[in-house]
Amino acid sequence: PMVEFLNFEVLEDHGWALEDEDLFAKAADANLQSSDFGRFYVDPNDTLLEAAEKNGFAWPFACRGGACTNCAVAVVDGEMPSPASHILPPELTEKGIRLSCIAAPVSDDAKIVYNLKHLPEVSELLL
Ligand code: FES
């Protein structure tokens, strides 16, 4: 799968919201740093976090086992199944929030906002 990514901290800086329909179009026009906005390919068998690291990006993580939410991302477009065992409550998985250390997109293309640990509903779960 090809993943287009955006740093959640950029949303805060620009006053954008996860729900904005044209979020990635606005990001494309904003002249962002390559670590904040870009794309990479996820090899089959890699988690999204592993794919980001293979491509030279330092995305947040701690436990690498679905137990801490440091690696949380929001799936804005595309399919990224959530494994059965992890710490996220259903309210967050229903909103498309996933843990990048234990999952990866399965659709050909996906739009992902990383650094979701700064979203208040996620940060209150941080361990
Ligand atoms: Fe802890 Fe992913 S790094 S849940």
Q: How many angstroms does the Cα of residue 98 sit away from the middle of ligand 1? A: 10
Q: Which atom of ligand 1 is nearest to the CA of 99?
A: 2
Q: Stretch 13-25: mean pLDDT, rounded? A: 95
Task: Give yes or no for residue 127 having a pLDDT over 70.
Answer: no
pLDDT tens for 42-76 read 999 999 999 999 999 999 999 999 999 999 999 99
Q: Which domains does the chain have, with CATH numbers?
A: 2-123 (3.10.20.30)
Confidence of residue 37 (pLDDT cuts 50, 70, 90): very high
* Atom 4, ligand 1: residue with shortest CA distance: 66
Ligand 1 — pocket residues by CB below 6 A? 61-64, 66-71, 99, 101
Token pair in block for residue 74:
């929001």
pLDDT tens for 79-114 read 999 887 788 999 999 999 999 999 999 999 999 999
Place of tokens 């941080």: 126
